[in-house]
Amino acid sequence: MPANTVLAIKHTLSFPKRPAVSRGFSTLAMAVLLTLAYNQIFVRSVWSLGGWSQAWPLLSLLFLVNVLLCQLLSIGKIQKIWLFALVIIAAASQYFMQQYGVLINKGMLQNALETDNHEAMGLLNIAMLPYFSYYLLLPGAFLLWTKHRPQSLKRGVLHYLAIMMVSTLLATVLVVSQYQNFAPALREHRDLKHQAVPFNAINAAIGLLKSNTAQSNTIEFQHYAEDARLITGVGKPQLVIMVLGETVRADHLGINGYHRNTTPKLAQRKLLNVGAISSCGTATAVSVPCMFSYLNQQNYNDGLAKNSDNLLDVLQRSGVTVIWRDNNSGCKGMCDRVTQDKSFTTEATDCNDGECPDSNLLNHLKDTILKAKSGAKPIFIVLHQQGNHGPEYYKRSLDNQKLFLPECKNNLLNQCLPEHIINAYDNAIVATDELLNNTINLLEDLSTDFNTSMLYVSDHGESLGENGVYLHGLPYWMAPESQTRVPMLMWFSPQTIEQNTFNTNCILQNAKQAGSHDMLFDSLLSWMQLESTAIRPEQDMFRGCSSMASDISSNKTAA
């Protein structure tokens, strides 16, 4: 074969030469890509505000913000790493926003970081591969394929500063000239900043870092209700089991008027059903610490809550035996200083890949209680459920609890029929109904040794596809009631009602009037027969409902 023919073949089969581009070109190209390819939700939102006249200023501002973000670490060999990191952040943010209708903010990021491995795996799906292949591999290939033109250090610094300064100047001019358009749009549609990719994720990370830094800089642990003490008296000690629900919305309980009988066993019980109350947050990472803190939803501060005495601390310091059993992703720091009982996981045969049904929370619990009994010392137990944690709701119920079929068995909920999602979700409530009924059975068995009672309340609710939104974690100010209205109910043994002379109608009315998680701290102090000047009468559902000394003390304090 002639030499020139061989050369021609090699030339035909060879890859094209890697184009040499400037670093500024890479910055601008990636900013365009981030703005147009990874902001599909943001584009739709701003377009709906008033078409092109409203969309172009906001899109232009987002482009300039993305230029600044891309340029921020576009230095030497770091540039390609930084640009690809932004692509990863953008691709992941857009994916979860599109699939579940969530927003990327500080609360959502905190909730994601505190999610355990099993919950994280529940969000993964093989259907993710085409999306991430397109939105990760192609930009990655572009970054690898291109090479940067060599330039002197001085020239590089000048180009870097020029892009930063020009972008900042243009952004400033745009904001000033379009202020009349920006101000009402951003004020009335605060969710826009949580949709702007990758600004939303980076802003959330900075906010979370600031919160954690402020928390770590706390000078000392804050004590609260230090005057709390047990009211000594005659009779059996109190035994209260609090079942802490997960991701249950109040409007899907049969006993709350739901069209399906998702609570057949509880319907046969004599309960104090408060119905729907307001949650403290829309995600476990916020709601659980807030529920056990003396802080209210309006003034909740994560750093202060986790560096102060919570309900469990006050109970334990006052002489109550406190035990926490967790079948979820942890207690978010609330049980760090009390007994954490993991004995329910021993000899469990129905766990799959480390995930156990909530029914296991009752394993060996009677033995644990009897061993913990010490004279007239009260006992307070928290059972933290896996509950209705999504998106794999179908895993939260056993075969004999699946009353509603077929179920959605895909963690990409938008690929399931709405009724199949609801079937799986409702079956998980049936599982909770059985757990609560069995908890009451256990308390009835122990009523010869204790005055027994139970509290059930969920931490937050769940969106099941209404308006394209799934799961939970939306900012509280914009979250639908499906995420913020949760069930709460109580059960008291007849002996407990008699010994404490409880007026159950009074308790129920006070609880409904308080109407939120805010009542839990104060009410449970009274429930466990503690007195303290820290108990706020307006948040104590036992106020005026018994002849207990703690009630008298609270009324005197209020007067």
Task: Give the pLDDT of residue 331.
Answer: 93
Residue 543 in any domain: the answer is no
Q: 350 and 463 in one domain?
A: yes
Residue 54 in any domain: the answer is yes
Residue 547 in any domain: the answer is no
Number of domains in the chain: 2
Residue 1 in any domain: the answer is no
Q: 171 and 245 in one domain?
A: no
Residue 558 in any domain: the answer is no
Q: What is the CATH number of the domain that holds 352?
A: 3.40.720.10
Three-class HEC string of 428-462: HHHHHHHHHHHHHHHHHHCCCCCEEEEEEEECCCC
List pLDDT tens digits, range 412-470. Answer: 898 899 999 999 999 999 999 999 999 999 999 999 999 999 999 999 999 999 988 99
CA 501 to each of CA 145, 430, 456, 504, 544: distance values in angstroms, whole numbers, following the listed order: 79, 33, 22, 9, 11
Instruction: Provide the domain limits for residue 161.
Output: 15-215
Residue 403 exposure: Cα atoms within 13 Å on the Cβ side: 15
The last residue of a domain, from among 200, 215, 230: 215
Task: Give the pLDDT of residue 554.
Answer: 45
CA 326 to each of CA 117, 340, 342, 534: distance values in angstroms, whole numbers, following the listed order: 15, 8, 8, 28
Q: H or E stretch including 274?
A: strand 272-278
Task: Give the pLDDT of residue 528.
Answer: 95
List per-residue pLDDT tens for the chain, 559 residues long: 555 654 554 454 455 667 777 888 899 999 999 999 999 999 998 888 877 777 888 899 999 999 999 999 988 889 999 999 999 999 999 999 998 888 888 888 887 777 767 777 777 778 788 898 889 988 888 888 888 888 888 888 898 899 999 999 999 998 888 877 776 677 677 788 889 999 999 998 988 887 777 665 655 789 999 999 998 766 799 999 999 999 999 999 999 999 999 999 999 999 999 999 999 999 999 999 999 999 999 999 888 898 999 999 999 999 999 999 999 988 999 999 999 998 887 766 677 766 789 999 999 999 999 999 988 899 999 999 999 999 999 999 999 999 999 999 998 898 899 999 999 999 999 999 999 999 999 999 999 999 999 999 999 999 999 988 999 988 898 899 999 999 999 999 999 999 889 999 999 999 999 999 999 999 999 999 999 999 999 999 999 998 654 444 444 444 3
Task: Give the pLDDT of residue 493.
Answer: 97
Report yes or no: 483 and 474 within 8 Å, Cβ to Cβ. Answer: yes
Task: Give the pLDDT of residue 179.
Answer: 72
Q: 370 and 312 in one domain?
A: yes
Q: 58 and 26 in one domain?
A: yes
Task: Give the pLDDT of residue 558.
Answer: 42
Single pTM value for the model: 0.82
Q: 498 and 364 in one domain?
A: yes
Q: 362 and 244 in one domain?
A: yes
Q: H or E stretch including 182?
A: helix 179-188
Say how far apart CA 57 and CA 52 lie, in whole Å. 9
